[in-house]
Chain A
Amino acid sequence: MTDDTTTEDDATAGPRNGAREPERRADSQITRRRALSAGAVCLAGALAGCASEGGSDRPAGSTAEGEETDGSGTGEGGGPTLARVEDPPDAVYVPTHFEAMRHLDPIRAGPYEVVPMVTYPHAFWTVTGETVERTEPSGAEDVHLMVTVRDPETKAVIPAETGLELTVGRESESGSTHVPWPMVSQEMGLHAGDNVPLGEDGTYEVTVRVGAVDARLTGDYAGRFDESGTGTFTFTFDDEFRSEVVEGIVYVAEGDRGRRGALANAMARMGSQGAEENSDTTEEPHPNGVERWRGGEAGHRYGTYERAPDAGDLPPADALPGTLQGRPVTGDAVLATTLIASGSRFVDDDERYLAVSPRTPYNRSSLPMTALSYEQRREGESVSSGPLTGTLDHELGYHYGAALSDARTGDAVTLTVDTPPQAARHAGYQTAFREMPPVEVELEVPE
């Protein structure tokens, strides 16, 4: 794989001491949108760190009005040094901070529920085939705009990339259409987002078009998400918003940054289960070998928390229907693999169904836009092989599946990742899910 990833965590990295300093108000520094749009990230770091870093108490945002800091963290005139995760592991790791964002009320768009979120523009990584490229806010973008598409009944996250459009403009004006990147983040799970230019302060209207789900639909989902829908939400872009999302940043303890683990998913705070969604009952090492550990800062948790069984994008591996065949790990993604007995809704009567559910470790977010194939072997001879088809099911969630007409206990099934997950990545995921060598499970077929 091409590796042009920097070791820098992202442009919003905070100060080295990780302390939060809510007393310092941003308001006086945020009088000019342009001064902030590029500099919000530096300002964020400055707000928290200026008093303790190098003895300077001059926030980056107090440089001459309109003077833009460069976003690389070197800062002008002795601004704060950006915390970096030096040499992150080729695995999921804890970044330097929790993002703050404004959660807006969910809206309906045809058969879908859309959860909108808005925060400051920040760096993320796009994935094009095997190339992972860091993309910085250009200075012209004003917000990072995100939506999560869910089943309105179960709140399950739906990978509805097809035809997803966000048309953004001032209220009652026609606006400009963006296709947000499908993205995974530790806090947000699977969503779609982009850094978007706005303009002057004011109320902005976003029309969301959700297209049909680009997957085979099974179970209760058959016939439900095969059409498009649109809905509209508004948000206010002003000083209050900018202060809120900058001041809400919470930094991870310095010693924990870069450790294998993750920020606990923040969507919990929006759900009915509250903090219970981030369960910490297990002491078993994760299938990727990482020992359990826990950290926390200002009510935010990180480490190796597993999400509660009924929360998140996907069921836990051992809660998948059928007989669990294994949880092999490749590129730090878990390929939970199950075999569903004949007579299921997935395949013809006498066939069994092999389902592979790639997910992030700890937070169990789904990893769509992956190409997977399998080969089944018995005593060294190939029995069957082929691609696994992307499928969305109300019980299995988003997974990749194939029919097996002749499956026996002891058969070896090799799972090959033809293309790693193409969803863009927030910090902490950009070095994972890239080199993904084939893995194998040995079939256990109940009689």
Chain B
Amino acid sequence: MTLPDPEDRLPDPSETPRREFLKAAVALGGSAGLSACVEAPAADPGGAADLADVPTGDPDAVPDRQHAWNEALPTDADGNVRPPRHHVLRYADLGFDPTDGDERAAARETLREALSALERAFAWSNEGLLFTVGYAPAYFDRFDASLPASVDLPAPTALTEMEDPAFDEADLLIHLASDAPAALLSADEALFGDAGAVRSGDREEQVPNLSGVLDPVDRRTGFVGAGLPREHRGVPGLPEDAPIPEEAPLMMGFRNGFRASQATEDRVTVREGPFSGATTQHVAALRLQLNAWWRQESHAQRVAKLFSPVHAAEERVGDWGEKLGADPAVADLPEDAVAYARDSGVVGHAQKAARAREDGAPLLLRRDFDTTDGDHAGVHFLTNQRRIGEFVRVRAAMTGADIADETAVGSRVNNGILQYVFVRRRGNYLLPPRRHRVLPTPTPE
């Protein structure tokens, strides 16, 4: 694929809000995106403008769990963890034969050194760089041995009758995240481009190029955070006049990631076996079509569908979720969602998802973010959970087929936000603990 001329893709930095420009640079990627990013003037509240201001890192300070991000991220005034603002997903296939011991040993050494260099260069935080390396079922299928029973990692499947997704079956998924687009792109370019090194603060780290180890398959990008969705209005799927509140981190106009609706990192961690400390990751590429959401629904309808009709009637939410604090306030809703929906005729997304809690505790740790990949509004719906089966259970609850069957609620219409969200791709991954994150066998020592 030929990258378009960056001149065609990047807005004029002198006429564009800085954060919008940086977001465009992340989406563009490559050395052009990086240099645009580094040269962009002025300060951004979202992250260091210049690599010289990005804090350097210490590999000894990086936790064993790859998904241990919460301690490294800021919290908002209500105690909710605030995710990194910019994201890159790098899908790659192995560029060597993993069953050849020598090739594998060499590849492991290269990847290990590359990841260590990133850890030395960038602090393990939103101001530096957070990343994970995940392995698909297709990767483990290359080996004769099977994954231990303590790991639940099936191949992705369609999860509802309403979707016909394609499946991501690349061997690996590297997720890079940062508030600082320059750090993000620098890491991306070092791993998959020709940079050869990353720079931060006053430090420069040599990064071995991964060609021959990993063959890039796909690159996806995204963003989450106050102000960012507004700047993408006008992309197909997100009307140019959508009244998204400035504070809203997501295109649908509300915040998510409430502390009380997020699984803890402990809850999503594999407890036993050689991969103890791992987690599973599901990444779905969703398309959003928010024309009717923003132009036809009222605020009360949006609240009813995203949270619940009770939230709408009692005005629990506020303009963008600010009144909810750290709790989506679904615990006091009637347990029998079907009976409730027979009366209300509409059921909320959060209300449905809450049905799949276990002893009152959420099963999924959501780390999703919005995107304009493919020049269309969308979401990279990324979650961590101990077992992929738990994701499937929660997804079934969110589908609400039982509710649609027995009430006036439709399969999509008045059924949470299903009228607006379309699943295009699904992929499942294992994020091994850091000690096994480099090209593990299914049965690491």
Interface residues of A (CB under 8 A from B): 126-131, 133, 135, 138, 140-141, 161-165, 174, 176-179, 181-182, 194-197, 209, 211-212, 214, 228, 369-371, 373, 387, 389-390, 418-422
Distance to closest chain A CB from B301 (angstroms): 5
CB contacts under 8 Å to A, within B201-222, are none
B345 interface neighbour in A163, A165, A174, A422, Cβ under 8 Å: A422
Known pairs A131-B300, A135-B295, A140-B295 / 20 extra A-B pairs, C-beta < 8 Å? A126-B297, A128-B297, A128-B346, A133-B297, A138-B239, A140-B241, A161-B411, A162-B411, A176-B287, A179-B412, A194-B292, A195-B296, A197-B239, A211-B162, A228-B161, A369-B410, A370-B408, A371-B345, A422-B346, A422-B414
The interface stretch among B7-15, B315-323, B399-407 is B399-407
Q: Which of B18-45 contact A (CB under 8 A)?
A: none
Q: How far is the CA of A209 from the CA of B420 in the complex (A)?
A: 15
Contact for A178 among B291, B345, B346, CB less than 8 A: B291
Say yes or no for B70: interface residue by CB 8 A criterion: no
CB atoms of A182 and B374 under 8 A apart: no
Bound-state Cα–Cα, A131 to B303, Å: 13
Q: How far is the CA of A135 from the CA of B301 in the complex (A)?
A: 12
The answer on a CB contact under 8 Å between A422 and B413 is yes
Asked whether, in the complex, the Cβ of B342 is within 8 Å of the Cβ of A161, the reply is no
Q: Which residues of chain B (402-436) have a CB below 8 Å from chain A?
A: 404-414, 418-420, 422
Question: A113 to chain B: closest CB distance in Å?
Answer: 20
Q: Which residue on B lies nearest to A421, using beta carbons?
A: B408
* B residues in contact with A174, CB < 8 Å: 374
8 smallest beta-carbon distances between A and B, as pairs: A419-B408, A419-B345, A129-B345, A163-B162, A135-B296, A162-B411, A371-B408, A138-B295
B111 beta carbon closer than 8 Å to chain A: no
Contacts of A128 in B (CB 8 A): 297, 301, 304-305, 345-346, 414
Residues A179 and B239 in contact in the complex (CB < 8 Å), given A130-B345, A196-B291: no
Q: Taking CB as reference atom, which chain B residue is nearest A196?
A: B291
**Which of A130, A214, A387 sits near B410, CB closer than 8 Å?**
A214
In the bound complex, CA of A418 to CA of B240 (Å): 38
The residue from A129, A162, A178 contacting B292, defined by CB atoms under 8 A apart: A178
What is the CA–CA distance of A127 and B345 in the complex, to the nearest angstrom?
A: 9
Known: A211-B161, A369-B413, A418-B342. Contact between A177 and B289, CB under 8 A? yes
**CB of B236 closer than 8 Å to a CB of A:** yes
Least CB separation from B237: chain A residue = A176
The answer, yes or no, to whether B393 is at the interface (CB within 8 Å) is no
User: B407 to chain A: which residues have CB within 8 Å?
Assistant: 371, 418-419
Q: Which residues of A contact B305 (CB under 8 A)?
A: 128
Nearest-neighbour CB distance to chain B for A295, whole angstroms, equals 32
A28 to B100 alpha-carbon distance, docked (Å): 74
- Bound form: Cα–Cα A209–B422 in Å: 12
Query: Are B345 and A161 within 8 A (Cβ)?
Result: no
Min CB distance, B417 to chain A, in Å?
11
Instruction: List the A side residues contacting B264 at CB < 8 Å.
Output: none
B71 within 8 A of A: no
**Residues of B contacting A141 with CB < 8 Å?**
291, 295
User: A422 and B291: CB pair below 8 A?
Assistant: no
Q: Which of B145-190 contact A (CB under 8 A)?
A: 161-162, 164
Which residues of chain A come closer than 8 Å to B309, judged between CB atoms? 129
- Give the contacting residue for A140; candidates B164, B240, B297; CB below 8 A: B240
Instruction: Determine whether B343 belongs to the interface, using a CB cutoff of 8 Å to chain A.
Output: yes
